Amino acid sequence: MKAIYLKELRSYFSSITGYLVIAIFLLVTSLFLFVFDGEFNILNYGFADLSPFFLLVPWLFIFLIPAVTMRSFTIERNLGTLEMIFTRPISHRSIIAGKYLAGVTLIIIALIPTILYVYTIGQLGETVNNLDIGSTVGSYAGVLLLVLCYVAIGIFCSSVTSNQIIAFLLAAVLCFIMYFGFEGFSTVIENDGISYLGLKYHYESMARGVIDTRDVIYFLSIAILFFALSELSLKIITQKQ
């Protein structure tokens, strides 16, 4: 698993993919938070907190994370190296885990510079460092758990097709449905309980600054579910060979 993890991580930074994802994420968030007028502009928000940033992140990750994961297994299938990996004394679970952790690591690296946003908002407040630390920490924890789910979804979509574009579109649609779909469906049928099944409900719950174990268990369950589906997909591919 370690060898696959390091290989995948190196592949992100030996090409433009890793740098491009990090640059796009930081550029877009910076422009929306500090330059463009609108609901995400912190300078016009009137409060010294990062709520606009944490509202923006799920939208960006719906597109950026599938762009990272779409090549995880599709490129292996196109190059014919997936069969070679299967012949090695390593389990399907370890193969998926290596690629999964590499994708998560890349997104975490992209998130690290956003700590500067916390410092900036702390300095711009009428009272210096008058920042809701609990809400900020809870929101970052929610983002990390959301990343675990999005990457798991992306890895699964990459395992079911040999076309990178299809893998990207499928992952983006699934991430959108898992985040926004249940809330929209609950509005249509006028049943608020349905929204509890979506990522958005639990993400917003953690953004309030209260890290509830039920929310954590929910995120981990979704990540494990799609991880297991990826393993099942690889086993089916192996049986067909």
pLDDT at residue 47 in the model: 67
pLDDT at residue 34 in the model: 85
pLDDT at residue 91 in the model: 83
pLDDT at residue 218 in the model: 96
pLDDT in tens, 111-137: 999 999 888 887 766 666 667 777 888
pTM: 0.92
pLDDT at residue 240 in the model: 65
pLDDT at residue 89 in the model: 72
pLDDT at residue 157 in the model: 95
pLDDT < 70 regions, the chain: 45-48, 79-83, 85-87, 124-130, 240-241
Tell me the two tokens of residue 95: 């193969």
pLDDT at residue 111 in the model: 95
pLDDT at residue 45 in the model: 67
